[in-house]
Amino acid sequence: LAYKMGWMPSDMLAAIAVAVSLSFIISAPLNRLGHKIYQHSGKWLQETAAEKLNQRDQLINPGHAQVLILGMGRIGTGAYDELRARYGKISLGIEIREEAAQQHRSEGRNVISGDATDPDFWERILDTGHVKLVLLAMPHHQGNQTALEQLQRRNYKGQIAAIAEYPDQLEGLLE
């Protein structure tokens, strides 16, 4: 618009177009690798301790939960309810949206709010010794893949189950 109105010379328009294009080229891989970059740079970042931690920063104690369900949408909720019907209260659901986690709790489910794709989330889990199964039921394949990588980095020895919408997504999830 500024070019058409004569407020900006064509050279300036070309320079802005090139700058915007370059910014996308540089930022796309950085955004995709954001969690990995954060993990590697975490050694050099100084941790600051707040007097009162945000709920998302508090330590997580799974207690005696034998199953962690990451993603409490339709599939995660169905799995949680089926496990509870068959085996009792052995599951802990993890949902990224606090409102949804509260709704699950009001319906009697053991659900906490957390982002399983965030490396800090896995640093806050106190003890997974009782956990025999982790179900990756997040709606986006990349989220399940990232959570799987986090579990592998922490040498989780139990079973891992994951959902996949398309056959080509299985390759990255199968070991």
- What would the pLDDT profile of 55-112 be if each residue is shown by its tens digit? 666 777 788 899 999 999 999 999 999 999 999 999 999 999 999 999 999 999 999 9
Report how far residue 53's alpha carbon sits from residue 69's, in angstroms, rounded to the nearest whole number: 24
- DSSP E strand stretches across the chain: 67-70, 91-95, 111-113, 133-136, 159-162
Quick: pLDDT tens for 104-160: 999 999 999 999 888 888 888 877 778 999 999 999 998 999 999 988 888 888 999
Contact (CB, 8 A) for 161 and 133: yes
CB within 8 A of 102, min separation 6: which ones? Answer: 113
Q: Which pLDDT belongs to residue 125?
A: 80
- Give me the sheet containing 133-136, strands edge to edge: 111-113, 91-95, 67-70, 133-136, 159-162
Report how far residue 161's alpha carbon sits from residue 68's, in angstroms, rounded to the nearest whole number: 10
Report how far residue 13's alpha carbon sits from residue 30's, in angstroms, rounded to the nearest whole number: 26
Q: How many folded domains does the chain comprise?
A: 1
The answer on pLDDT for 42 being more than 70 is no
Please give the span between the terminal C-alpha atoms of the chain, in angstroms, as a whole number: 54
Q: Which pLDDT belongs to residue 128?
A: 75
Report how far residue 99's alpha carbon sits from residue 150's, in angstroms, rounded to the nearest whole number: 25
8 assigned to some structural domain: no
92 assigned to some structural domain: yes
Specify the CATH number for the domain of residue 60: 3.40.50.720
16 assigned to some structural domain: no
127 assigned to some structural domain: yes
Between 138 and 37, residue with greater pLDDT: 138
Domain that holds residue 133: 55-173
Its pTM stands at: 0.68
